[in-house]
Structure 1
């Protein structure tokens, strides 16, 4: 990999991760009706389906069910992200049904984002903070690859795999 391409991957993955963390946790904290929009469209694969969502050891079958869980079953969450890190997992990922974008854009990769912090459920003045750890595998959004993000405010990166765990 050329040095400039490596620098581009780092820059794009860092910017994408920061934007994702800021917008996803803002949605969890107050715009739960937008949660499903952060996930890739449903897809089947041998042995399971995508997106793959694990919430504290429980498999959530779909992004819509994840959103419903936050809207109807979980008391108002108050997430405070303490830190996050990102790593390029695959620099040459091509979403199904799309063409590869030029490597110099850095938009053909999958990104692993690890997040940790504290969450309170319910009244933030009364609830005890609980430490959490969460990891996401982000993939390029085919709609963004097709140039639709400007028209519809489409997210460039979507969750393919998510694992959330309250830390004991």
Structure 2
């Protein structure tokens, strides 16, 4: 049986906050195709709205087909996954994302109900696992081993 303390929850919540801020800042940057794959390993599994992608190369492929984004995180939560020390972390994120330049950037002929350029609600779940390359004595580093995104609205 694994017992979690308030300190454990504080540590993973702080890690989730740091990860979430860094991840979506990188995702929305102009250098995302070069930088975001560094969060993953070649063995990482990614599912984006039901479409699977594999590892760093899969993330690059996904980003190459996507217009610029702007994420607004509304909430996130994190839970340690027992079984190892340090534990893996399950991070759950909900928010809105706009692809492209937003509604004002759409051509005049775009239907009013088109999802192009409109904010969409998303939910994304990450499985972060300890990076074995973490130097002893330094804060634990993690990488994305699993990533599932789904549009909700």
Change (3 A) 1:148 1:57: farther
Secondary structure of 1:142's aligned partner: coil
2:150 is the alignment partner of 1:158:
no
- What is the CA–CA distance in structure 1 between the aligned matches of 2:81 and 2:147, rounded to whole Å? 15
List gaps (5 residues or longer) in structure 2: 105-116
Aligned pairs for 1:141-152 within 5 A: 141-144=131-134, 146-147=135-136
Instruction: List structure 1 segments (4+ residues) > 6 angstroms apart after TM superposition.
Output: none
- What is the CA–CA distance in structure 2 between the aligned matches of 1:54 and 1:117, rounded to whole Å? 17
Contact 1:16 1:157 (C-alpha < 8 Å) held by counterparts = no
List gaps (5 residues or longer) in structure 1: 43-49, 94-107
Shift of 1:28: 0.6
Q: Give the equivalent residue in structure 2 for 1:12.
A: 11
In the superposition, the TM-score normalised over structure 2's length comes to 0.80
Shift of 1:84: 0.5
Change (3 A) 1:54 1:148: farther
Q: Which has the higher helix share?
A: 1
Give the counterpart of 1:133 among 119, 123, 133.
123
In the superposition, the TM-score normalised over structure 1's length comes to 0.74
Q: Give the equivalent residue in structure 2 for 1:85.
A: 77
Shift of 1:2: 9.1
- What is the CA–CA distance in structure 1 between the aligned matches of 2:72 and 2:62, rounded to whole Å? 20
- What is the CA–CA distance in structure 1 between the aligned matches of 2:61 and 2:138, rounded to whole Å? 25
2:54 is the alignment partner of 1:61:
yes
Q: Give the equivalent residue in structure 2 for 1:75.
A: 67
- What is the CA–CA distance in structure 2 between the aligned matches of 1:2 and 1:60, rounded to whole Å? 33
Contact 1:143 1:149 (C-alpha < 8 Å) held by counterparts = no
